[in-house]
Amino acid sequence: MLKTAANPYIMPAEWENHTAVWLAWPYDKITFGSLNQPDNQLNPERLAKVEKEFIKILAALENSEKINLIIRNKSQHSHILQNVRMFEADYADVWTRDYLPTFVKDIEGSLTAIKWNYNAYGEKFTGLIKDNKVWPEINKGLKIKTAEPGVLLEAGAIEVNGNGILITTEQCLLKRNPNLTKRDYEKIFTKYFGVSKVIWLKEGLINDHTDGHIDELARFVSPNKIVCAYEDNKEDENYQILEKNYRTLQNSTDASGKPFEVIKLPMPHMTYDDRNKAPVSYVNFYIGNKVVLASTYKDTNDTEALEIIQSCFPDKKIVPIDCSEIIYGGGAVHCMTQQQPL
């Protein structure tokens, strides 16, 4: 869809060039310590393991794009790589995908930040709600033009191909704003993302506290190609959910009526220490300018998943990031990153 006065913004696809990527340093001992532990007992080693993988993420991105890193105190991170620009803020968690703005291009081609409301996934984690104020705090110095639709939305819940198509789930969006209909959302996405068509999947993974974020289910890897999480084991709790999502995508078409190529990604399998099934998925990767950060889980399907992702991005380096400790916070690599387009 072209930008017009009525539809003044377009959200570029994630593989389009970025000026920067936004992340936040992990520090919270609830997210990475007691969450998903038996009786919420602290695992004293988890945060250090998460920090080690986070440093790998920064190193992988260093030569790909500029890194904007949110931290609580700059003096604590003087050892960080030179390509990192640090922003001090009073933040709670690392999930920048969900509480920072979605960056789009306006009718003149300039950057605009679309700041959605954030309430920590339906107020499930009250200690995280203050992250809704992180962008206004940071933007006092940046002064990036910002639009506020006044709607609850996490960017992990939406996926675009940069060519008029958006994928999301009914489970998340209709729960987040029960006063809005699918048609209401479609009008909002047309205005702020330049979307002409929305593909609605039903629901997300079992035990996903985000209520079905799309970045665990299906991602565009080109305007007409989608990778889709798929479970082969019919006895698995996610089988029926993912089978329905796959069939929906297979029966969907782009803005011109052309069907998508849908590629199955196998599922990893992991159980938290509290014995609950973890919402793990290889679909949760980040597409940088030169690299793709791919979430792995010490699973037998890791190698196959990496090979499939590499085949989708032959000109980019695939960097595996072990998310078997990060996932205890409920997310993985894509959830920790938010791209700022060129």
The string of pLDDT tens digits covering residues 7-35 is 789 999 999 999 999 999 999 999 999 99
- Check residue 6 and give its pLDDT: 62
Domain boundaries, the chain: 18-341
Residue with token string 């409920």: 330
- Check residue 42 and give its pLDDT: 96
281/284 Cα distance (integer angstroms): 6
Cβ-based burial of 323 (10 A; exposed 0-12, middle 13-18, buried ≥19): buried
Q: pTM for this one? A: 0.96
Helix ranges (DSSP H) in the chain: 46-61, 96-99, 120-123, 134-142, 170-176, 182-193, 239-250, 302-312
Residue range 299-310: average pLDDT? 98
* 66 touches 83 (CB < 8 A): yes
* pLDDT above 60: residue 228: yes
* 181 touches 148 (CB < 8 A): no
Measured at the CA of 12, the angle between CA 98 and CA 70, to 5 degrees, comes to 35
* 131 touches 99 (CB < 8 A): yes
186/239 Cα distance (integer angstroms): 28
Residue with token string 């988890």: 46
Band of residue 83 on the pLDDT scale cut at 50, 70, 90: confident
Nearest to 121 by CA among 154, 166, 170: 154
- Check residue 296 and give its pLDDT: 98
The two tokens of residue 194 are 């330049």
Band of residue 5 on the pLDDT scale cut at 50, 70, 90: low
pLDDT, mean over the chain? 95
Where does 18-341 sit in CATH, by number?
A: 3.75.10.10
pLDDT digits (tens, 9 = 90+) for 266-287: 999 999 999 999 999 999 999 9
E strands within the chain?
A: 18-24, 66-71, 84-88, 102-105, 111-114, 146-147, 159-160, 165-169, 197-201, 218-222, 225-229, 261-265, 286-287, 291-296, 317-322, 338-341
- Check residue 4 and give its pLDDT: 58
Contacts (Cβ under 8 Å, ≥6 apart) of 190: 1, 7, 196
The two tokens of residue 318 are 């695939």
